[in-house]
Structure 1
Amino acid sequence: MPVFQLYDAPVFPHPDLAEEDGLLALGGDLSVPRLLQAYAWTVFPWYSEETPLLWWSPDPRLVLFCDEFHMPRSLRRTLNKGEFRLSVDQSFEQIIQGCARAKRPEGEGTWLTPEMIDAYSELHRQGHAHCVATWQGEELVGGIYGVALGRIFYGESMFYSVPNASKAALVALVQVLRERGFTAMDCQQTTAHMLRFGAREIPRGQLLHLVQKGLEETRVQGSPWGGEGLLRWVPSRRQFRPEEGWRER
């Protein structure tokens, strides 16, 4: 399969035309219209400062269905201690900067270039990218961010500076998604970490169907995302609940 060169128009070839490793296209830009069009076709950018802008759509795709989420007992015991408090859609740029600084198992460096940070921060300002932050006292110790499109959440990256902080953010995120009628979170790449939480591989075509179906539903019913503020873990209910000051959108 050829790798396609993108130009000015925010359009993409069909993801079925991607190479075996998922590489579909190169070039283009990180404008909001192009990024939204990419996610609508299960395509996402992933590159480094040493490479051109690359666009990927792997097949199969690791997806965490909200109703299949598994929380390990050890993590529940950690949450029961009450050491963390969580916030939704607050401190987005701090979270993405934390993800950019995080050391990765594959080696030095980060795929979160300054251009990527600016692009996703703009997606957040326009209401398309969202985050969950984990706090100890007043210190940000972990978080996760991604893009909501239709009824699918594209998980982009997470980080932690203390054990279990990013896992707590993931638990809160999945609960938020489930309560708002989201179907699943796309994990983009298969990792042992997400498999432990119940994620599984599905054909890319199935994910594309879910995205397109969700987009059609939200055109009629409106975006399911809404609300920001603090969450606290309630052991007796085994879930997070909004604290005073939570704001519905």
Structure 2
Amino acid sequence: MILLNPNEISFPDPALLESDSGIIAVGGDLSVERLYFAYQLGLFPWYNPAEEILWWCPDPRFVLFPKDLKISKSMRKVLRDEVFTFTENKCFRKVIEECQNTFRKDQDGTWLSEELVVSIVKLHEAGIAKSIEVWQNEDLVGGFYGIQIGKVFCGESMFSKVSNASKAGFIQFIQSQKEGLELIDCQIHSEHLESLGATMISKKDYLKILKNNNDES
């Protein structure tokens, strides 16, 4: 684990640094430039707001290849019956605030600090971060946001106020991308995303895919 120089936007190469915990570096700041550079390298910030910023690149990495998407019969019916409608980037700030305020099992508080929210909103304004909104009867009932690096979408957080809302939004997003999406980076394992087809790959393989698809963008 490397201590970052706050006056220099740089990171150690995660491909060359082994870490049992997945933490590659600590410190630095949350400037738009540093955040974007981190995601391009395969790193992401994940830390408690009152603590130092931690930069992660776990091994293995939890990802979903669009071709491996699993849609259950019940979800096919939800989509066919048009239970929800979907938009993209209609209310990014609202989506990230809902993610910030969503209670999560076994999690004390939120990892989304106000400082991080402000920086990610700036990434959105720069066209790098995007949100997917899920609506029901004109109410925002689910959604998620993430960072687009070439053909890799780094999913950050999601929320759902009614059953199947975020899952429907996730499926619709993948299906709508066609050839524009090579991989979704889910980062850390969850049963919810595993049920949709997400799986573990090595850090080495993830970084190779990220680099290849970023170079092609």
Calculate the TM-score normalised by the size of structure 2. 0.95
Spell out the pairing of 1:3-18 with structure 2 (5 A cutoff): 3-15=2-14, 16-18=16-18
Spell out the pairing of 1:137-216 with structure 2 (5 A cutoff): 137-177=137-177, 179-216=178-215
Deviation at 1:18, TM superposition (A): 4.5
Deviation at 1:170, TM superposition (A): 0.3
**Secondary structure, in 3 states, of the residue corresponding to 2:188?**
coil
**Residue 48 of structure 1: aligned partner:** 48
Amino acid at match of 1:109: G
Asked if the contact 2:2–2:12 (Cα under 8 Å) also holds between the matched residues in 1, the reply is: no
Cα distance in structure 2, aligned partners of 1:18 and 1:30: 23
Matched, 1:79 2:79: yes
Asked if the contact 1:25–1:56 (Cα under 8 Å) also holds between the matched residues in 2, the reply is: yes
**Secondary structure, in 3 states, of the residue corresponding to 1:156?**
strand
Cα distance in structure 2, aligned partners of 1:208 and 1:86: 31
- More displaced stretch, 26-35 vs 141-150: 26-35
Asked if the contact 1:3–1:18 (Cα under 8 Å) also holds between the matched residues in 2, the reply is: no
Count, aligned residues = 216
Asked if the contact 1:4–1:13 (Cα under 8 Å) also holds between the matched residues in 2, the reply is: no
Deviation at 1:80, TM superposition (A): 2.4
Amino acid at match of 2:122: E
Q: Provide Cα deviations, 1:157-192, integer angstroms capped at 9, x if missing partner.
A: 000111111011101221233x24210100000111
Q: Provide Cα deviations, 1:182-225, integer angstroms capped at 9, x if missing partner.
A: 1010000011111111111111111111111112111xxxxxxx
- More displaced stretch, 78-87 vs 193-202: 78-87
Deviation at 1:117, TM superposition (A): 0.9
Deviation at 1:14, TM superposition (A): 1.3
Cα distance in structure 2, aligned partners of 1:176 and 1:9: 39
Cα distance in structure 1, aligned partners of 2:3 and 2:139: 44
Spell out the pairing of 1:32-71 with structure 2 (5 A cutoff): 32-71=32-71
Cα distance in structure 2, aligned partners of 1:204 and 1:72: 29
**Residue 30 of structure 2: aligned partner:** 30
Asked if the contact 1:95–1:143 (Cα under 8 Å) also holds between the matched residues in 2, the reply is: yes
Cα distance in structure 2, aligned partners of 1:18 and 1:3: 11
Cα distance in structure 2, aligned partners of 1:83 and 1:73: 14
Unaligned ranges ≥5, structure 2: none
Amino acid at match of 1:9: E
Where relative contact order (Cα < 8 A, 6+ residues apart) is larger, the structure is 2
Amino acid at match of 2:52: P
**Secondary structure, in 3 states, of the residue corresponding to 1:193?**
helix
Deviation at 1:3, TM superposition (A): 3.6
Unaligned ranges ≥5, structure 1: 219-249
**Residue 118 of structure 1: aligned partner:** 118
Q: Provide Cα deviations, 1:42-82, integer angstroms capped at 9, x if missing partner.
A: 10000112211111110000110011111111111122222
Amino acid at match of 1:60: P
- RMSD, matched Cα: 1.3
Asked if the contact 1:134–1:169 (Cα under 8 Å) also holds between the matched residues in 2, the reply is: yes
Kindly report structure 1 stretches of 4+ aligned residues shifted beyond 6 Å.
none
Cα distance in structure 2, aligned partners of 1:181 and 1:140: 26
Amino acid at match of 1:127: G
Asked if the contact 1:6–1:25 (Cα under 8 Å) also holds between the matched residues in 2, the reply is: no
Asked if the contact 2:66–2:174 (Cα under 8 Å) also holds between the matched residues in 1, the reply is: yes
Asked if the contact 1:142–1:160 (Cα under 8 Å) also holds between the matched residues in 2, the reply is: yes
Counting aligned pairs with the same residue, the percent is 37
Asked if the contact 1:159–1:166 (Cα under 8 Å) also holds between the matched residues in 2, the reply is: yes
Cα distance in structure 2, aligned partners of 1:109 and 1:7: 26
Asked if the contact 2:4–2:10 (Cα under 8 Å) also holds between the matched residues in 1, the reply is: no
